[in-house]
Amino acid sequence: MEWGVDVFLEIISVNKSYQSKSVKQDVLKGVNLQMDEGSIGVILGPSGSGKSTLMNIIGGVDRADNGKVIVNGIEVSSLKDDKLTDYRRDSIGFVFQYYNLIPNLNVWENVEIVSNISKNPLDIDKVLAAVGLASMKNRFPRELSGGEQQRVAIARAIVKNPKLMLCDEPTGALDYETSKEVLKLLQQINKDFGTTILMITHNAGIAEMSNRVFKLRSGEIIEAHDNLEPLPAERIEW
Ligand SMILES: Nc1ncnc2c1ncn2[C@@H]1O[C@H](COP(=O)(O)OP(=O)(O)OP(=O)(O)O)[C@@H](O)[C@H]1O
Ligand SMILES: [Mg+2]
């Protein structure tokens, strides 16, 4: 099969179900999705529609039952476990709603532990400067606001210079102004580092800063559309 030159992420007919006791739940039902290299994509959908499941499959944290996941020419869906671990470590930066920082490490060290296991890490101080935390590098997570903690989490995701950043409700725990700051930062990273970003949100306003929007409902993509002129994060409202 031939891929378009700039297709970076391709999901073809992905199905996933979970079996609990006697009940089988179909969580993803034939999902197809494409993203170009260097673009920002947003997945919108209600709670339980399968957003995190889909993201986990793209990130190599979980596996599809069938279908294909291709990221940057790597057929993720057919990787053996050890190669899947390499893929996850080398190619993917994760950012979650709750920042998952290590409480007894300071800002610099939280970023360093990821840098240490990365193949081609970026310079830690440069990354901290890029996320606006250069002056806070000796602080511990408990000494930071929610927005600052999310910046550390973003620094930790980008220090490994990932090809793809997967953000699951990155502003879900933040207030309006802080959310905008974090979204501005993600847009800046996309521009400066060329990182492709796929973001999950409940918030339709956030979709306006993306290049492509996917609406997921009960495990199916019910709509996908392009924004020809994505808005700068500071101009989106919700
Ligand atoms: N490991 C699992 N075992 C069994 N069921 C699961 C598992 N993970 C997810 N599910 C079920 O799959 C469905 C989709 O879950 P998922 O976490 O992908 O939803 P979501 O769209 O991310 O929702 P939210 O917006 O609340 O985070 C839910 O009904 C959930 O209960
Ligand atoms: Mg979720």
CA of 13 from ligand 2 middle (Å) equals 20
Judge whether 121 lies within some domain: no
- The CA-atom distances, in angstroms, between 93 and each of 24, 58, 160 are 31, 11, 7
Cα 196-200-203 angle, rounded to 5 deg: 125
Considering the domain boundaries, does residue 86 fall inside one? yes
At 180-193, the pLDDT tens digits run 999 999 999 999 99
Distance, CA 52 to ligand 2 centroid (Å)? Answer: 4
Residue 44 lies in a domain: yes
Domain of residue 56, CATH code? 3.40.50.300
Q: Domain tally for the chain? A: 1
Domain-located, residue 66: yes
Is 52 close to ligand 1, i.e. is its CB under 6 Å away?
Answer: yes
Q: What is the mean pLDDT of the chain?
A: 94
Atom 2, ligand 1: which residue's CA is nearest?
Answer: 18
Return the pLDDT at 91.
94
The answer, yes or no, to whether any atom of ligand 1 lies below 6 A from the CB of 27, is yes
Name which of 22, 10, 18, 95 is nearest 63 in CA terms.
Answer: 18
Q: For 191-216, how does the pLDDT look when each residue is reduced to its tens digit (9 = 90+)?
A: 999 999 999 998 899 999 999 999 99
- pTM reported for the whole predicted model: 0.94
The predicted pLDDT at position 5 comes to 55
Mean pLDDT of 137-150: 96
146: exposed, middle or buried (C-beta count within 10 Å: 0-12, 13-18, 19+)? middle
Please indicate whether residue 18, judged by its CB atom, sits closer than 6 Å to ligand 1.
yes
pLDDT at 76 over 60: yes
State which residues form the domain around 35.
Answer: 7-101+143-154+163-235
Residue 22 lies in a domain: yes
Average pLDDT in the 42-65 region?
Answer: 97
What is the per-residue pLDDT for 6?
80
